[in-house]
């Protein structure tokens, strides 16, 4: 790594990762509407979307990019884990 190269933690999120977070920031009237938007906007299945989103919850770059959304989703994830 040269001094001019950004460290991995300083690297930008991919366009797809930013799109996943942007989609997650929106409010959805129903799961069906959200699933349709996932397929149309991102071109991936809802299952893949949630895999990507879950990985982003542990990515410091995602936290730096969108702390409100990441922290909200982390709280939801922890509450679900606590109920198990």
User: Is there a contact between 23 and 37 (Cβ–Cβ < 8 Å)?
Assistant: yes
Q: How confident is the model at residue 27 (pLDDT cuts 50, 70, 90)?
A: confident
Structure tokens at 15: 């366009």
CA-wise closest residue to 46 among 31, 58, 26: 31
User: Is there a contact between 24 and 69 (Cβ–Cβ < 8 Å)?
Assistant: yes
Residue 50: per-residue pLDDT: 96
Backbone angles phi, psi at 43, to 5 degrees: 70, 30
Buried b (16+ CB within 10 A) or exposed e, 56-69: beeeebbeebbeeb
At 45-74, the pLDDT tens digits run 999 999 999 999 999 999 999 999 999 999
Q: How confident is the model at residue 3 (pLDDT cuts 50, 70, 90)?
A: very low
Residue 8: per-residue pLDDT: 53
């Amino acid at each position: 790594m040269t001094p001019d190269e950004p460290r991995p933690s300083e690297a930008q999120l991919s366009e797809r990762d930013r799109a996943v977070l942007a989609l997650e920031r929106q409010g959805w009237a129903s799961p069906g509407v959200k699933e349709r938007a996932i397929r149309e906007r991102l071109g991936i299945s809802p299952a893949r979307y949630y895999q990507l989103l879950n990985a982003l919850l542990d990515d410091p770059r995602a936290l730096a990019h969108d702390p409100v959304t990441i922290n909200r989703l982390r709280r939801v994830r922890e509450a679900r884990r606590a109920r198990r």
